[in-house]
Amino acid sequence: MNSFNLKTFLTTNVEIDEQTIKEHIEKLKKIRIKKGNFLLRQGDICKHSFFVEEGLLKYYSIDEKGKQHILQFAPEGWFVVDRESMFFNQPSQYFIETLEDSVVTMMDEDVFAELSLQNKDFALFNNRLLHNHIRHLQNRINLLLSATAEERYLEFVKIYPDLLLRVPQTLVASYLGITPESLSRVRKDLATRRFQK
């Protein structure tokens, strides 16, 4: 399991005084949470953004038939948050659950706001993170509406290159919006074509 702490993430990506980051990070709560536990449940109000330092999370909904729909995986160095719930104080439609034993830093929105006010570079970085998240969601919607199962799978591998050995095939299929059988066929077809080259 990799370890990638929030301080390293911020100092690597933002021109900001290390002492300033340290002061803000010391206020944050870092938790160790076992595999299969929840950071957010449907019906709760999301109070934090979660930064994954170690481990792996999944962000998903469950429909009326009990089928799971995965919106996002969050490995080390990723943030996950239910933006609608957090920013509009609405009960969440989603779950955030650990797929592995994890270490997660919980960030309140006021930390982002305070750092953004104090530092223009952080404000720009935070804005870029938000727009990058929106860009990924738009691309994901477009793939689900128009791409083949193979195209979706290849995009998954590009976004999450290290997850195929960490995530069960059923969850990858849920993320792709296809059946596990379809995913098996896609992987077999790709392997066959590579072997024939």
Inter-residue contact 52 to 104 (CB < 8 Å): yes
Tens digit of each residue's pLDDT, the chain (197 residues) = 445 788 888 888 888 877 878 888 888 899 999 999 999 999 999 999 999 999 999 999 999 999 999 999 999 999 999 999 999 999 999 999 999 999 999 998 888 888 888 888 888 988 998 999 899 999 999 999 999 999 999 999 999 999 999 999 999 999 999 999 999 999 999 988 877 65
> Residue 51: beta bridge partners?
79, 105
CA dist., res. 25 & res. 6, Å (int): 8
6-109: CATH topology is Jelly Rolls (2.60.120)
- The predicted pLDDT at position 1 comes to 45
Q: 30: which DSSP letter?
A: E
Listed in sequence order, the residues at least 6 apart from 184 whose beta carbon sits closer than 8 Å to its beta carbon are 169
Domain residue ranges of the chain, discontinuous segments joined by +: 6-109, 150-197
185-to-98, 169, 197 alpha-carbon distances in Å: 28, 12, 19
CA dist., res. 74 & res. 96, Å (int): 10
- The predicted pLDDT at position 98 comes to 98
139-to-9, 47, 145, 191 alpha-carbon distances in Å: 25, 27, 10, 25
